[in-house]
A and B are shown apart, each in its own frame.
Chain A
Amino acid sequence: MNLAVLWLALLGFLLAGYFVLGGADQGVQMLSSAARDERARTGLLACLGPFFFGNEVWLVGAVAVLIGAFPFLEGSLLPGLYPLFVALVAGLVLGKAAVQLRGRATGRWSRRVWDGCVAAGGAISAVGWGLVVGVLLAGVPMRDGRTFTLGWPMLLNPFVLSCGLAFGAVFAAHGLMFAWMRVPERIPVRPAPVLAVATAAVALAVVLGAGTGAVRPVNPAPVWALTGVTALALGAAWWAVRAGRAGRAFAATGVVAALPVPLLGVGNHPYVLLATEGPGMTVAEGAADEASLGILTAFGVVVLPLVLACQVWSWWAFRGRVDRGTPTYL
């Protein structure tokens, strides 16, 4: 296995981690719009706790690896999906800032604006990620092997839209399980109906992807296998919800949230950008040269375990439910 594939796996790990952790945040953000009043909303958002600060930076880490190890993929991907990323980043920024600042606002009017930003930011980011994953699964119209531009037909493809919907629904369900685990008496809706919507949305995306021929992966076998795992994870989530086990339900929806990443990486290997016509961009073409990857690896071996250890420490130190002695800030 060469260094580029190793770093691709790492990129996938960070992005999948982001979908699991940041996805839960975005889900809770979306659900906060269903909270009855101010007290209920504050109580619900309290579940984000200190994790909120560490969760979102998994994306920063993933983009860092994209820039550091795959500068050529980055140079094609970000300008190619320009409008999508602009909307996504604007949504992320609004949501992240609003979660931290809404508690500082005292006027009723300003609270309402911040609360709107919290929910809208979560929804825009969640759906935006779904659209990005959908477009990448369906393939992009590459020119000269380096550049492409997102067009309306690509974005309005039913499969791509269904991916946006599925991400929104899965993140909402995942966030709900997280809140159920941390602040069980504060959740604004019951888990079962939200999980039903998520299951239906995922099923729709699978049917459209396979049925309309929108997805033609390079390696169909692992794609079907991973789709099967998604189905199993959804089944496990149903079982956990019936049994009233919040932690297990959260783990199961986490698997569902993370699976699109390996699906994308393994399904299209050796391409990092699948083209609708002609050859796409392979891992080697997207990656930095061996010397740079070598330096990155030398630092990565030290830095990544340290950074992950910090996160694990944070999870351990603040594990358990939010109770009366927990510092409130959000």
Chain B
Amino acid sequence: MDTLDLARLQFIGTTGLHWLFVIFSLGLAPLVAVVHTRAVLARDPGRRAGLMRMTRFWGQLYVINYAIGIVTGLIVEFQLGLSWSGLSKFAGNVIGAPLALEALVAFFAESTFLGMWIFGWGRLRPAVHAGLIWLVTLTAYASAYWILVVNGFMQVPTGLEVRDGVAYLADFGALLTNSNVILALIHVTSAALVAGGLFLAGVSAYHLRRGTADREPFLGSLRMGVAVAAVAVIPTAVVGNMQFPILQEMQPMKVALFTHAPTDALQARMRAAYGPGDYVPPYWAEIGEEVMLYLGYTLGMGAICALLMVFRETLVRRRAVAAVAALAAGSSMGEFAGGLVFGAPGPHRVAVYVACTVLAAALLVFRPRRRRALALLLVVAIPLPFVASLAGWVMREVGRQPWLVYGHLKVEDGLSPVGWGMMLASTVTFIAVLAGLAVADWVLITVFARRGPDGAHLGAVATAPEPEPEPVKLPL
């Protein structure tokens, strides 16, 4: 491995880990905010207390995730300058402003609000307190937008003017409204909501299977999670597909790789335009694409089936509603099933749609047995959206190789003047530290998710002597 490979390994290791925490944050924050708001608005004291308990439970899991999310973000921020100073030397004038705004608007404000939310129980007025978690959500989404402005620019450079090998900002509006940015934002945030929804559903299903004392609140969370996931799979798929025509125009090589089209002509064209070199991305970008698509289709089918089963009793109360639900669910599932069977939705569309509508109707007509086994499926599905989104990230970023800024700056030219030994040391340090913290964090999330609402530390007040902590199987 040379210095360049090490720097790339370091980037994929640290940023890939950061990505997983970000997806969880974006997916869970709005759901926590909704639960908290419902708790504040509830009139009935019993219901209010139940919802508050759930807010603390889900909020606790969110906060544990955030602890590592923010530090991985810090490493990524420093890494841009440490390992890839060629990027700021070429494009600093253009991407500096959005990066700065990302950190100031989002990172800075988000962390301040989250600190106040964590310590605000019983200290701030309930409406202000619930408002804070909405501010956390808002700033998290603003952060996603600004960082995608930078990433979108690197994928499809717009609004720049190159003079003497340095990029200058020519059109800030074009930078902000880059179609690559807007589509990616909708795709990624919808995918995050699928992940957040399925997490809520999976953890609730786990507690319902075990026969929890908090049956009603967990049923509510299960319904909410399944509904959010089943609705969010649709924009995830639709907007995901909308990106392909843009890629065909802007990054034809990526599309050629995924469609197994010959790359020789494109390679020759790129060589003529940008000089000698290899312009075919590594083959494993395609593995990322396939993992993302097949997992995505499977999760899409699963989420919609789960929706029909969870809301079955409500839906079958009126025949007209049931019929509409079967048709709507059948047609969305038809797209996913077509993708699963044929690689892309398209062939034999009518037959696939009819089969899926029949399946949807069957799920509504017959009350499924083995509900405990089905609930286990929801638990098992928790990590899958994260794997899918990571695979999508690999597809997007590896598929644009060898470019750092497409058509302007190659990855090898962005590398900092850092020696091999130094790069090795930093790669080992960062990946070891982050991987250790990430594993510890996931174990803690699992432990706290299994404990249920009674085990949440969030919102505890030091009035009584501290109760003995209950023993935990996984000591970390």
- Interface of A (DSSP majority class): helix
Query: A76 vs B78: C-alpha distance in the bound complex, in angstroms?
Result: 13
- Could you tell me if B112 and A310 are in contact, using CB atoms closer than 8 angstroms? yes
Tell me whether B261 is interfacial, beta carbon within 8 Å: no
Q: CB-CB contacts of A319-330 with B at 8 A, as 1s and 0s?
A: 000001111110
Residues of chain A within 8 A (CB-CB) of B365 are none
Tell me whether A263 is interfacial, beta carbon within 8 Å: no
Tell me whether A299 is interfacial, beta carbon within 8 Å: yes
Q: CB-CB contacts of A288-299 with B at 8 A, as 1s and 0s?
A: 110110011001
Q: CB-CB contacts of A40-57 with B at 8 A, as 1s and 0s?
A: 000000100111111011
- Could you tell me if B93 and A71 are in contact, using CB atoms closer than 8 angstroms? yes
Tell me whether B272 is interfacial, beta carbon within 8 Å: no
Q: A106-B471, A303-B105 are in contact. Are A53 and B114 (CB under 8 A)?
A: yes
Query: A51 vs B101: C-alpha distance in the bound complex, in angstroms?
Result: 22
Query: A48 vs B241: C-alpha distance in the bound complex, in angstroms?
Result: 47
B30-38, B299-307, B396-404, B454-462 - the one binding chain A: B454-462
Query: A29 vs B180: C-alpha distance in the bound complex, in angstroms?
Result: 43
Tell me whether B270 is interfacial, beta carbon within 8 Å: no
Residue of B72, B97, B121 near A292 (CB, 8 A) is B97
Query: A7 vs B220: C-alpha distance in the bound complex, in angstroms?
Result: 50
Residue of A53, A68, A86 near B96 (CB, 8 A) is A68
Tell me whether B245 is interfacial, beta carbon within 8 Å: no
- Could you tell me if A79 and B115 are in contact, using CB atoms closer than 8 angstroms? no
Residues of chain B within 8 A (CB-CB) of A311 are 112
The smallest beta-carbon distance between A178 and chain B, in angstroms, is 15
Query: A327 vs B122: C-alpha distance in the bound complex, in angstroms?
Result: 8
Query: A71 vs B93: C-alpha distance in the bound complex, in angstroms?
Result: 7
Q: A71-B89, A106-B469, A324-B463 are in contact. Are A50 and B108 (CB under 8 A)?
A: no
Residues of chain B within 8 A (CB-CB) of A289 are 93, 168-169
Query: A64 vs B77: C-alpha distance in the bound complex, in angstroms?
Result: 8
Q: CB-CB contacts of A96-108 with B at 8 A, as 1s and 0s?
A: 1100110111110
What is the chain A residue whose CB lies nearest that of B427? A86
B223-231, B387-395, B432-440 - the one binding chain A: B432-440
Residues of chain B within 8 A (CB-CB) of A318 are 116, 119, 123
Residues of chain A within 8 A (CB-CB) of B417 are 79, 147, 149
Residues of chain B within 8 A (CB-CB) of A103 are 457
- Could you tell me if B104 and A63 are in contact, using CB atoms closer than 8 angstroms? no
The smallest beta-carbon distance between A288 and chain B, in angstroms, is 5
Residues of chain B within 8 A (CB-CB) of A72 are 88-89, 92
Tell me whether A243 is interfacial, beta carbon within 8 Å: no
Tell me whether A69 is interfacial, beta carbon within 8 Å: yes
Residues of chain A within 8 A (CB-CB) of B100 are 64-65, 67-69, 296
- Could you tell me if B430 and A71 are in contact, using CB atoms closer than 8 angstroms? no
Query: A191 vs B390: C-alpha distance in the bound complex, in angstroms?
Result: 50
Residues of chain B within 8 A (CB-CB) of A90 are 429-430, 433
Residues of chain A within 8 A (CB-CB) of B105 are 303, 307
Q: How many residues of B contact A (CB 8 A)?
A: 81
Tell me whether B470 is interfacial, beta carbon within 8 Å: yes
Residue of B169, B419, B444 near A291 (CB, 8 A) is B169
- Could you tell me if B71 and A67 are in contact, using CB atoms closer than 8 angstroms? no
Q: CB-CB contacts of B409-425 with A at 8 A, as 1s and 0s?
A: 00000001111001001
- Could you tell me if B104 and A67 are in contact, using CB atoms closer than 8 angstroms? no
Residue of A57, A68, A69, A100 near B108 (CB, 8 A) is A57
Tell me whether B120 is interfacial, beta carbon within 8 Å: yes
Tell me whether B378 is interfacial, beta carbon within 8 Å: no
The smallest beta-carbon distance between B94 and chain A, in angstroms, is 7
Residues of chain A within 8 A (CB-CB) of B109 are 306-307, 310
Tell me whether A279 is interfacial, beta carbon within 8 Å: no
Q: A67-B88, A93-B434, A296-B100 are in contact. Are A317 and B116 (CB under 8 A)?
A: yes
Query: A57 vs B70: C-alpha distance in the bound complex, in angstroms?
Result: 9
Chain B, range 290-341, C-beta contacts under 8 Å to A: none
What is the chain A residue whose CB lies nearest that of B99? A67
Tell me whether A83 is interfacial, beta carbon within 8 Å: yes
Query: Which of A97, A303, A311 is most buried by chain B, counting CB atoms within 10 A of its CB?
Result: A97
The smallest beta-carbon distance between B200 and chain A, in angstroms, is 20
Query: A60 vs B430: C-alpha distance in the bound complex, in angstroms?
Result: 18
Residues of chain B within 8 A (CB-CB) of A105 are 444, 475-476
Tell me whether A239 is interfacial, beta carbon within 8 Å: no
- Could you tell me if A94 and B472 are in contact, using CB atoms closer than 8 angstroms? no
- Could you tell me if A295 and B97 are in contact, using CB atoms closer than 8 angstroms? yes
Tell me whether B242 is interfacial, beta carbon within 8 Å: no
- Could you tell me if B462 and A107 are in contact, using CB atoms closer than 8 angstroms? no
- Could you tell me if A314 and B116 are in contact, using CB atoms closer than 8 angstroms? yes
- Could you tell me if B80 and A67 are in contact, using CB atoms closer than 8 angstroms? yes
Q: A97-B437, A101-B64 are in contact. Are A64 and B118 (CB under 8 A)?
A: no
The smallest beta-carbon distance between A6 and chain B, in angstroms, is 14
- Could you tell me if B97 and A296 are in contact, using CB atoms closer than 8 angstroms? yes
- Could you tell me if A52 and B85 are in contact, using CB atoms closer than 8 angstroms? no
Query: A100 vs B437: C-alpha distance in the bound complex, in angstroms?
Result: 12
Q: A83-B422, A296-B96 are in contact. Are A76 and B460 (CB under 8 A)?
A: no
Tell me whether B286 is interfacial, beta carbon within 8 Å: no
- Could you tell me if A104 and B64 are in contact, using CB atoms closer than 8 angstroms? yes
Q: A78-B416, A104-B447, A327-B461 are in contact. List 13 more A-B contacts (CB 8 A).
A: A64-B104, A67-B80, A68-B101, A72-B88, A75-B416, A79-B416, A83-B426, A90-B433, A106-B471, A107-B472, A304-B104, A318-B119, A327-B460
Q: Can you list 10 A-B pairs with a CB-CB distance of less than 8 A?
A: A53-B115, A60-B108, A64-B99, A64-B103, A89-B75, A106-B469, A292-B97, A314-B112, A324-B462, A328-B460
Q: Give chain A's interface residues, CB within 8 Å of chain B.
A: 46, 49-54, 56-61, 63-69, 71-72, 74-79, 82-83, 85-87, 89-90, 92-94, 96-97, 100-101, 103-107, 109-110, 147, 149, 288-289, 291-292, 295-296, 299-300, 303-304, 306-307, 310-311, 313-314, 317-318, 324-329
Q: Give chain B's interface residues, CB within 8 Å of chain A.
A: 63-64, 67-68, 70-75, 77-78, 80-83, 85-86, 88-89, 92-94, 96-97, 99-105, 107-109, 111-116, 118-124, 168-169, 172, 416-419, 422, 425-426, 429-430, 433-434, 437, 440-441, 444, 447-448, 457-463, 469-472, 475-476
